[in-house]
Amino acid sequence: MEYTSEELLHQLLDNIDDNIYFKDRDSRFILINEAFARRLEMAGEDVVGKTDFDIFTEEHARPAFETEQLIINSGEPILGIEEKETWGNRPATWASTSKMPLRNAAGEIIGTFGMSRDITEHKLNEIQLRKYARRLTAINKQMEEELRMAANLQHAFLPQFYPDFSEDSIQGKCVEFAHSYIASTQISGDLCSIRKLNDTEAGMLVCDVMGHGVRSALITAIVHTMIGDLSRRNLSPGELLSEMNRQLRPMLQAQDSFIFVTASYLILNTTTGMLSGASAGHTIPFVIKNQDPPGVNPLHDIHPINGPALAVIKNYDYKTIQVQLDPGDTILMYTDGLPEETNHSDEEFGLDRTKDILCQQADNHPKTLCDALVDAVDDFRANEYLNDDLCLLAFRWNGSTE
């Protein structure tokens, strides 16, 4: 059985799901297929002679007409454009459309023809996704602003100035301080504090809240407030950590997850050089001797009295140690972000490397030591950001034992 070209064309038009239409030079419909008739909700013969202005609103009809006139005048097709179809009596739809010049046997342009496919569901999903993206961007922006504010507030918890214990009989200051603080994220779980307790004593705290981010930062705010209150009560280091543990435990253990805080607290008598200290699961401070090269050793073998982290054991009694400093001794307190930072080989910075860096410095001035360690960690680390927060606090006693 043989088929004419016209019969084959009608077979194609009647069975394809895409919308196919032919128009004259005035953009009047000449022929549409069954699929397009169903889309228009009209009989095919009723569409013949009409234009888009008779079926759609001006919002769609005008740009469609101008596009078709451009094709007629240029002879160039327009492929794969997205069209928003506005109907007036029903919700808008979307179509992906290709339009081409319609030519007669002599090659003259006598109109246009086109093929479109309904992409309404895809387009509505895309629009919805854009709305979600805008909302998410707005939420992220708000969160970033709040994090910046939180970071600024957290920096305000750090020492803004150092207490002065200058004496007329000493050239310069009898105690010098320095600290460094680098958060692995925008906000941190590390904190250090330097407070003048009275005319002759300074209290130094370094603590590390488990984890990172907002939760840890909120706990550092609690600790900052707590240390401000407790440091006014003439407590020994052990007594202060015991009271912090008593207050923190019900707050932190009430959470769904396990949270703890490590802390080291030292009190220096700036007149005598007597140093008192206690530790709650924290790193052991170093004492750096004022010699060439500087001698570096753990402040004290405090493992037997280095109690558990805060908020772990109820009513734990933290012990206080005492160490007599020599004139020119510097103490370095630090969080575990220093020794536990890793390089590309997953090797930790470690305490031995820390001691080596300290020994290599020309002097044991607190700022010299803090700066040297920060630079060494920057050179050592594998990533752009630290694996953990880093906090250093150093002080040198320049007094006399005479």
HEC readout, the chain: CCCCHHHHHHHHHHHCCCEEEEEECCCCEEEECHHHHHHHCCCHHHHCCCCHHHHCCHHHHHHHHHHHHHHHHHCCCEEEEEEEECCCCCCCEEEEEEEEEEECCCCCEEEEEEEEEECHHHHHHHHHHHHHHHHHHHHHHHHHHHHHHHHHHHHHHCCCCCCCCCCCCCCCCCEEEEEEEECCCCCCCEEEEEEECCCCEEEEEEEEECCCHHHHHHHHHHHHHHHHHHCCCCCCHHHHHHHHHHHHHHHHCCCCCCCCEEEEEEEEECCCCEEEEEEECCCCCEEECCCCCCCEEECCCCHHHCECCECCCCCCCCCCEEEECCCCCEEEEECCCCCCCECCCCCECHHHHHHHHHHCCCCCCHHHHHHHHHHHHHHHCCCCCCCCCEEEEEEEECCCCC
pLDDT surpassing 90 at residue 265: yes
Residue 349 pLDDT: 93
pLDDT higher than 80, residue 6: no
For the stretch 231-247, pLDDT in tens is 899 999 999 999 999 99
pLDDT tens-digit map of 48-81: 999 999 999 999 999 999 999 999 999 999 999 9
299-to-14, 24, 122, 333, 361 alpha-carbon distances in Å: 91, 95, 68, 10, 19
Please tell me the predicted confidence (pLDDT) of residue 301: 60
Q: Model-level pTM?
A: 0.67
Instruction: Judge: domain 159-397, CATH 3.60.40.10.
Output: yes
Average pLDDT over residues 86-111: 92
State the pLDDT at residue 241. 97
pLDDT of amino acid 202: 96
User: Which two structure tokens, joined as six digits, stand for 53?
Assistant: 């202005």
Q: Pick the most confident of 125-134, 140-149, 318-327, 375-384.
A: 318-327
Give the start-to-end residue ranges of the domains of the chain. 5-118, 122-157, 159-397
Q: Tell me what the mean pLDDT of segment 330-356 comes to.
A: 93
CA separation for the pair 173, 315 (Å, rounded): 39
Average pLDDT over residues 12-39: 89
Q: What is the pLDDT of residues 368-398, one digit of tens each?
A: 999 999 999 999 988 877 888 899 999 999 9
Supply 293's token pair: 């090269």
Nearest to 184 by CA among 336, 14, 387: 387
Residue 256's pLDDT is 63
Alpha-carbon distance of 368 to 362, in angstroms, equals: 9
Share of the chain above pLDDT 70, in %: 89
Find the mean pLDDT for residues 171-188.
82
pLDDT of residue 396: 96
Residue 26, pLDDT above cutoff 60: yes
Tokens of 28: 């009047």
pLDDT band at 2 (very low <50, low <70, confident <90, very high): low
- Looking at residue 370, its pLDDT comes to 95
State the average pLDDT for the chain. 87
Do the two domains 5-118 and 159-397 of this chain adopt the same fold? no
Task: Give the per-residue pLDDT at 8.
Answer: 63
Residues facing residue 176 across a β-bridge:
396
Q: pLDDT class for 11, splitting at 50, 70, 90?
A: low
Query: Could you confirm whether domain 5-118 is CATH 3.40.50.300?
Result: no
Phi–psi pair at 318, nearest 5 degrees: -80, 140
Q: Is the pLDDT of residue 170 over 50?
A: no
Q: What is the mean pLDDT of residues 335-340?
A: 91
What pLDDT is stored for residue 180 in this prediction? 94
Q: State what percent of residues in the chain have pLDDT above 90.
A: 60
Contact partners, residue 42, CB within 8 Å, separation at least 6: 55
Residue 205, pLDDT above cutoff 80: yes
Of the pLDDT bands very low, low, confident and very high (cuts 50, 70, 90), residue 299 is confident
* Over residues 276-286, mean pLDDT: 94
Cα separation values, 4 from 7, 9, 316, Å: 5, 9, 99
Mean local confidence (pLDDT), 95-112:
94
Name the CA dihedral angle for 6, 11, 16, 18, rounded to a multiple of 10 degrees: 20
